[in-house]
Structures are given as structure tokens and as C-alpha cells.
Amino acid sequence: MSFIPTLTRLALGAGLALSSLGAAQAAEDVTIGFIVKKPEQAWFINEQRAATELGEEKGFEVVSMAGEDGQQVLSAIDNLYSQGAQGFVICPPDVRLGPAIMRRAEKYDMKVVTVDDRFLGADGEPMEKVPHLGMSGYKIGQQAGRAIAKEMQARGWNPEEVAALRITNYELPTAKDRTDGATDALLEAGFKKANIFDAPQQNTDTSSAFKAASPVLSKHGEFKHWVIYALNEESVLGGVRASEQYGLSADQVIGVGINGSGAAFAEFQREKPTGFHGTVAVSSTMHGHQSASNLYQWITEGEKPPANTETTGQLMTRDNWRQLREEMGL
């Protein structure tokens, strides 16, 4: 009578062992993609490197790819499918591509995690079903605005006599959130709203910001003191370069960016200080590591990441950048 239950127990035990072995094999065979919109920017280089290092540590493969427009993203997904990838992390070139990207991913039964910029659905709202890891754009912007206001106070500037160069890209919700946050923080600190001037940029890099900033500075020559903010430090640097060409000195300009990447490090190492006062540093290394880890766990353990995880930053200046860079793994 006890023989049948014993066989049953043995069979169940063997099944569990095979199941565990299958899971282990699946973990070893995992391939994920890491698609970014600007592969040449230090922020995204750090993210992809951190994901690759995690893959080497855990034993899975990470395929780093560029997705600078919609067609390139879709081609990258096709490529990943041909390589047997089970999913990918992506910072999209345009958040409105979310539905199209998800249709292609679902066709191949791939899991998707967004990083930095979050997909928007056809209704213009965030796609909650796609796990996301990024900054709170508005809060990060507030940090930048408060840093500017604090430095203005330290220099004894009268807010009534200071102009703000707001380098904008309202097509990108993340950019709008950041500049809105900075604007609100400045207004709360007593900045004059009429002294805030927009410089719409076509891209999110230094040259685009330079082109956008130059005519604004020329048009408002009555101001001798300027503050500059934007969605990232590359854009703020474009504004700073434009201010230099216009003839403004470092003590007449306060620029504060967002990210904490090679562009800021290079600026802090210049022999003489510039109008680039600082940047709100966020760990791109952490973003790359954590988003890749979240996707890997989802694939191997069936644990879907949270719908939205937000990170914050720290003010990095010429005085503390080396220390913060080491502490934050940048």
C-alpha cells in the first residue's frame, strides 16, 4: 500500500528537481537588449556599461543598441528577436512611440522596461503596464531651481535684475517636467516671472541649445546677470557657451544642469571656472544596473517590476564632483 505513495513522492521530487534545473538553465540562457536614444552621450554610455557588467556578473547577455528614431528602434527589436532575446530595456527617442514599440515587443513575446523616459499611450497618459525606472522630472527640476536661487543669494544678486534662460523642449514630457520644476522653484524664491525667457531647442544636445540660446541673449542685452537651466547638462552647457560668445563672464552667469555625466566632469576640470555652476547628479550607473536587474528578475523569476520607480539627485559642483562621482559610481 505504501509503494504507490512512495513512487508518487519520488516522481514529484524528480519533477521539482527538473523544474529547478530548467529554471537555472533558463537563467543562463537569458539575453536582453538595452536600447538608448543617444548612444554617444555619457549618460547612456554609463547605463549600457552598467547593464553589461551586471550581465557578466549574473551570467546573462546584454546587447547594447541604438534607437535614435522609431524605425531604428523597431529594427533593433527585430534584431534582438533573431538573437533570442527575451526582453529589452529602452529609453525611447520619442515617448509617443510607446504603443508601436509595445506591439512589436508583444509580437515576439518580449518583456519591456523603460528607463529615463516613460512611454505615453494614445491618450497621452503614461503606459502603466510597462514598468519604468527614472527620475521625478519635476522634483529634479526643483532641485536645480533651488540650487540656482541659493547661488544667486550667495552672490548678492537682486532677482529683479536677473534674467533666466530657460532652454526648452516641450515635445519631451521629461524635459517639460524638469524645466517646470526649476521655474516653480525660482518663482518661489522671488524670481520675477517676466524675466524668464524661453529658448526652444530642436534636440537635446549642446549644439542645439547653443543655437537656441544665442538669439535670446542678443535680444535681451539689458540684463547683466543670467541664470540658465534646461532638461540636461549638455543643454545648459550650450547656453553657457552662448553666453561666453555674447561676452558674459563666469561671475555673470549661473547655469545648473541635470544628470552628472562626462560633460559636467570635463567642465569642472577646466582651469578657470565657467558659468556652469553645477548639475543635479543622478546615477546613470544605478539606472542602467537597476533597470537591467529588474528585467532579468522578471524574465527568470516572473517578478514584474513596479509600475514606476523614481530616483532623486545631489548637487554636484566644481568643489565636490570628484567625491560625488566616486560615491555615486558615475
**Residue ranges per domain, the chain?**
31-130+284-311, 137-281
Please say whether the beta carbons of 232 and 204 come within 8 A: yes
Residue where the block lists cell 561671475? 251
The beta strand positions in the chain, using DSSP E, are 31-36, 61-66, 87-90, 111-115, 132-135, 162-168, 196-200, 225-229, 253-259, 276-281, 308-311, 314-317
Task: Work out the mean pLDDT of the chain and round it to a whole number.
Answer: 90
Q: 31-130+284-311 and 137-281: same fold?
A: yes
Classify residue 164 by its DSSP letter: E
* % of the chain with per-residue pLDDT over 70: 92
pLDDT at 261 over 60: yes
Please give the pLDDT value at position 28. Answer: 63
Cα gap 59→241, rounded to integer Å: 44
pLDDT per position as a tens digit, 171-222: 888 899 999 999 999 999 999 999 999 999 998 899 999 999 999 999 999 9
Helices 42-58, 284-301: crossing angle, 10 deg rounding: 40
pLDDT at 15 over 80: no
What residues contact 189, with CB distance under 8 A and at least 6 apart?
145, 146, 149, 152, 153, 159
Please give the pLDDT value at position 23. Answer: 43
Please give the pLDDT value at position 328. Answer: 82
Better-predicted residue by pLDDT, 214 or 259: 214
Please give the pLDDT value at position 26. Answer: 54
Cα gap 176→55, rounded to integer Å: 34
Which fold would CATH assign to domain 137-281?
Rossmann fold (3.40.50)
pLDDT per position as a tens digit, 265-278: 999 999 999 999 99
Which fold would CATH assign to domain 31-130+284-311?
Rossmann fold (3.40.50)
pLDDT at 2 over 50: no
* Structure-block grid coordinates of residue 105: 515587443
Please give the pLDDT value at position 219. Answer: 96
Residue from 68, 13, 76, 63 nearest 34 by CA: 63
